[in-house]
A = this chain, B = another copy of it.
Amino acid sequence: MKIDTEKLLMIPGPTMVPAEVLNAMALPIIGHRTGEFGELLVDTTEKMKKVFQTKNDTFIITGSGTAAMDMAILNVIDKGDKVLNIVNGNFGDRFAKITLAYKGESIKLENEWGDMAEPEAVKEILDKHDDIKAVTIVHNETSTGARNPIKDIGEIVKDYDALYIVDTVSSLGGDYVDVDKFNIDICVTGSQKCLAAPPGLSAITVSEKAWEVIEKTEKKSLYLDLEEYKKKYNEKKQTPYTPAVSLIYALNVALDLVLEEGLENRFKRHEKLAKATTAGLEAMGIELFAKERARSVTVTSAYLPKGVKDKEFRGLLSKKYNVVIAGGQAHLTGKIFRIGHMGTAKEIHILATLGAIEMALKELGVKVENGVEVAEEILMG
């Protein structure tokens, strides 16, 4: 195995992980049916709840964010149940695919990719169908760098029977999320984004209203059955199946770092980094992809300059300048690039990334203005 350990990882997750978090995984494994593990699980879960800002039951799952998205749907719908899937990107669409995989009826509210969903449009659909069982939305569309107004939409959904299911995979710990204030019934996130822990874990919160639905829903999985997680946690402070012990060590330390910095400070840092990144790119003469009113604070998306090929551009950035950024997904492949500035990302990373982009584009024959200096102005502020 040979891993290049010198690259700057500026993709929208997994993110760079601080050494003290990585080193936690070098600790010996402990038995997952011991009291010692129980204490660790409770401690980690309680910290997760603080970050989610919730009193709802919260579970840590061994599996990626998609596993938690799967759980959010399969535990609350039966065959034929209507789900309103708000779609303005690849992950919004993933909720629709999951709805169909479990034989639900997916009502899609589609918005332009790169823009946000309109709360009023959600209300209209909820008024039209009185039997919608759940509304799904992605807070921060990793695929487009656009942010949805989950607080405003939560204000609407709370007046209906439908459960409010929110994916905060690439926002929790970097952007303002308050599960209880936003009336979120089921909130899912991943370890490898704004929490800056390694990938492989996800987390899910479940409200009382959601439990009432879950209890009446037919079992459709063993590994992803929420009631198994609840039972084992309440009875023994354990997980129903073997958890990724080392990843839980890492998540525990990563959550300490999040809480030490403080959620408010963390949100402000992400906002500043996003502002510097977008201003820097714009100063270079690069067109941003996400609409201004919908811009994410954790992921910036921009069009590839004319004539620049995605593979060539990102290849040069990675191979010559050691900066790894992401391309587009689905129909945006080859059209946009994406920069993740989340987790423990700092001023230095933004400067290095913008500078490397300048160099790579110049090398590819693109006329580029200086963007780094503009970014500096914001980063100093």
Chain A residues with CB under 8 Å of chain B are 1, 3-5, 7, 9, 11, 13-17, 19, 22-34, 36, 40, 43, 62-67, 69-70, 74, 94, 97-98, 101-102, 190, 192, 198-201, 219-225, 240-247, 249-250, 252-253, 256, 318, 324, 326
Query: Which residues on B sit within 8 Å (CB–CB) of A324?
Result: 30-31, 34
> Contact check: which of B190, B198, B220 meets A246 at CB < 8 Å?
B198
Is the beta-carbon distance between A242 and B29 smaller than 8 angstroms? no
Is the beta-carbon distance between A36 and B4 smaller than 8 angstroms? yes
Query: Which residues on B sit within 8 Å (CB–CB) of A29?
Result: 9, 14-17, 192, 198-199
In the assembled complex, 21 residue pairs joining A and B whose CB atoms fall closer than 8 Å, in A order, are A1-B256, A3-B40, A4-B36, A9-B29, A11-B31, A17-B28, A22-B25, A22-B27, A25-B26, A30-B324, A34-B324, A62-B64, A63-B67, A63-B223, A64-B242, A66-B241, A66-B242, A70-B221, A198-B245, A199-B246, A224-B224
Is the beta-carbon distance between A242 and B14 smaller than 8 angstroms? yes
Is the beta-carbon distance between A23 and B26 smaller than 8 angstroms? yes
Is the beta-carbon distance between B3 and A66 smaller than 8 angstroms? no
Q: How far is the CB of A86 from chain B (nearest CB, A)?
A: 18
Query: Which residues on B sit within 8 Å (CB–CB) of A102?
Result: 220-221
In the docked arrangement, what's the CA distance between A67 and B70, Å? Answer: 13
Is the beta-carbon distance between B222 and A33 smaller than 8 angstroms? no
Q: How far is the CB of A171 from chain B (nearest CB, A)?
A: 16
Is the beta-carbon distance between B1 and A245 smaller than 8 angstroms? no
Chain A contact residues: helix, strand, loop or mixed: loop
Is the beta-carbon distance between A97 and B222 smaller than 8 angstroms? yes
Is the beta-carbon distance between B63 and A222 smaller than 8 angstroms? no
Q: How far is the CB of A136 from chain B (nearest CB, A)?
A: 13
Query: Which residues on B sit within 8 Å (CB–CB) of A97?
Result: 222
Not counting A1-B24, A74-B221, A190-B242, a sample of 14 additional A-B residue pairs whose C-beta atoms are within 8 angstroms of each other reads: A3-B30, A5-B28, A7-B28, A9-B29, A16-B28, A25-B246, A62-B67, A63-B63, A63-B67, A66-B241, A67-B223, A101-B222, A200-B244, A223-B224
In the docked arrangement, what's the CA distance between A93 and B190, Å? Answer: 31
In the docked arrangement, what's the CA distance between A244 and B62, Å? Answer: 9
Query: Which residues on B sit within 8 Å (CB–CB) of A11?
Result: 31, 33
Query: Which residues on B sit within 8 Å (CB–CB) of A318?
Result: 34
Q: How far is the CB of A17 from chain B (nearest CB, A)?
A: 5
Q: Which residue of B is nearest A22, CB measured? A: B26
Is the beta-carbon distance between B25 and A245 smaller than 8 angstroms? no
Q: Which residue of B is nearest A240, CB measured? A: B66
Q: Which residue of B is nearest A256, CB measured? A: B1
Query: Which residues on B sit within 8 Å (CB–CB) of A222?
Result: 66, 69-70, 94, 97-98, 101
Query: Which residues on B sit within 8 Å (CB–CB) of A43?
Result: 1
In the docked arrangement, what's the CA distance between A33 and B318, Å? Answer: 13
Is the beta-carbon distance between A31 and B14 smaller than 8 angstroms? yes
Is the beta-carbon distance between B223 and A220 smaller than 8 angstroms? no
Is the beta-carbon distance between B26 and A14 smaller than 8 angstroms? no
In the docked arrangement, what's the CA distance between A114 and B190, Å? Answer: 40
Is the beta-carbon distance between B16 and A219 smaller than 8 angstroms? no
Q: How far is the CB of A198 from chain B (nearest CB, A)?
A: 4
Query: Which residues on B sit within 8 Å (CB–CB) of A13?
Result: 242
Q: Which residue of B is nearest A192, CB measured? A: B242
In the docked arrangement, what's the CA distance between A302 and B215, Å? Answer: 39
Q: How far is the CB of A170 from chain B (nearest CB, A)?
A: 11
